[in-house]
Structure 1
Amino acid sequence: MLASQLQAQHHLSRFSLSDPRVNILAAGIFALVAVLLTQWPALMLLLGLALLFNVMAGTRWRSVIKRLLAFETFMLLLVLMLPFSMPGETWFRLFGLSATIEGASQALTILLRANAVVLALLALLAIREPVSLGYGAAALGFPAKLIHLFMMTVRYIQVLGDEFQRLRNAMKARAFEPASNWHTWRSYGWLMGMLLVRSMERAQRIVDAMRCRGFDGSLYLRSQLLWRKSDSLLLLGLSLLALVPLVWQQFLE
């Protein structure tokens, strides 16, 4: 038991203890390769590499599966609708609508590509502290406003979640029960509206408090990032692995 925990920590250190710029650059290269791939065998290989990255990062598979299920719920609508919305050779008919082979092929391509990118992001970015990712993005020259937005979102997303939960509890205390009717949708509309209003009010209070403490819109890093030789080797290795499916696709063509 102890040996497995130590091994997991060792695997985790490969990605989580490197310079955060390595993770950001590797994720960008992986996403770029995913966009360039069009053939199923190459995309399946890329998906396998994303799974390998999660093994190397020591991510918890229960958490990965939970996040993937939430993502697949969104992808399910695309996969079901795309075959009926693209022209091409008819595959089958349902309720008078024609599903095309080209649409099904495109849906499968998008599904493989999206899952590969999500798994890679879970392995490369989700294991890092959000603050360290902000530091890495600043060191790479990302726009300051974008970094501020990211850092503030990370800091206050839980606050907004707590506010949402308080509003939901208030609705339950008033015996609200959701149903498929106009009252339910109107109540949810009021809920979103109140959450937006309270979020804006809290944001204004936060801005005022930051200005009282001398905030001038600049991002100051508490520590300087140090790029080491091992970071270069790790980025090179991850980049070469990500490029393997792209090279293989060229041979397939």
Structure 2
Amino acid sequence: MTIPADLRLRIGLALALPALLTTVHGFAPAFTALVAMLLLHVGSRQPFPWKRLLHLEGFLLLLFVTLPFTMPGTPLLTLGPLTASIEGAWRAATLAAKVSASVLLLAHLFAATDPLHLGNALRALHVPEPLVRLFVTVTRQLGVVRAEFARLQDAMRARAFHPRSNRHTWRSYGNLMGMLLVRALERADRVEEAMRLRGYSGRFPRTALMAPTVADWAVTAALVGATLLLLLWDKA
């Protein structure tokens, strides 16, 4: 077992470990954390979160392009009036390793977690009920809204719509967003009516959670301990 089964401990790890990783300044500890997260994913046999990483790498690529040219230090590359520094390149690589490790950690902790179970764990941690209700509802309905958006886009393509940089395109996209909002509000009303017919009174059903097992605490302690060792290595 590479992660605790108890969702309350997973939430605690999701808050604590990325916060600890942000204090790492050396490239070697940050890269070690990234390799450790990759090994955890390989050992757990979970689907690798390629899409999440691809969205992230676009931002990190921008970081590699800008940070070396804005941080003073030993010259590495000169492009006209701009000079990239070695220190800036190492800083960008360190930030990229820390961010990628944090994203892999979150994906590893919550990849196959049902939103309702996660909401139950948040409620057990005394998160306010309105926030829990908002989280569960949004995560459950986001896929429905995304499917509705795809259907509206297909309808526009069926009517020979081709996006261009003109007023008609922007007007069409505005109508698309407006129609998506209207349909989302209508669906929200139908969902609320269906929930009230099933006895919903403002709170989701609450299931009593069992206490974390010794194995859960052991895995949690191992992950926190490994992160603290990285911090000690970084400060040495």
- The equivalences for 1:113-192 within 5 A come to 113-192=98-177
Residue 95 (structure 1) shift:
6.4
Asked if the contact 2:3–2:216 (Cα under 8 Å) also holds between the matched residues in 1, the reply is: no
- Alignment partner, residue 72 of structure 1: 57
Q: For residues 197 and 80 of structure 1, do their structure 2 counterparts lie closer, same or farther at Cα, with a shift above 3 Å needed? A: farther
Residue 46 (structure 1) shift:
1.2
Counterpart secondary structure, 1:36? coil
Q: Which moved more, 1:180-189 or 1:195-204?
A: 180-189
Asked if the contact 2:34–2:100 (Cα under 8 Å) also holds between the matched residues in 1, the reply is: yes
Percent of residue pairs identical: 38
Q: TM-score, normalised by structure 2?
A: 0.85
Matches of 1:58 and 1:25, distance apart in 2: 23
- Choose which of 72, 76, 81 in structure 2 pairs with 1:88: 72
Residue 249 (structure 1) shift:
0.9
State the Cα deviation string for residues 130-153 of structure 1 (Å, max 9, x = none): 322222222122222222122112
State the Cα deviation string for residues 199-252 of structure 1 (Å, max 9, x = none): 23322333344345443322331343332222211211221122221111121x
Matches of 2:146 and 2:199, distance apart in 1: 28
- The equivalences for 1:1-253 within 5 A come to 15=3, 18-60=5-47, 63-84=48-69, 86=70, 88-89=72-73, 91-94=76-79, 96-101=81-86, 103-251=88-236
Unaligned runs of 5+ in 1: 1-10
Unaligned runs of 5+ in 2: none
- Alignment partner, residue 8 of structure 1: none
Residue 108 (structure 1) shift:
2.3
Q: For residues 87 and 81 of structure 1, do their structure 2 counterparts lie closer, same or farther at Cα, with a shift above 3 Å needed? A: closer
Counterpart secondary structure, 2:49? helix
Asked if the contact 1:29–1:242 (Cα under 8 Å) also holds between the matched residues in 2, the reply is: no
- Alignment partner, residue 3 of structure 1: none
Counterpart secondary structure, 2:202? coil
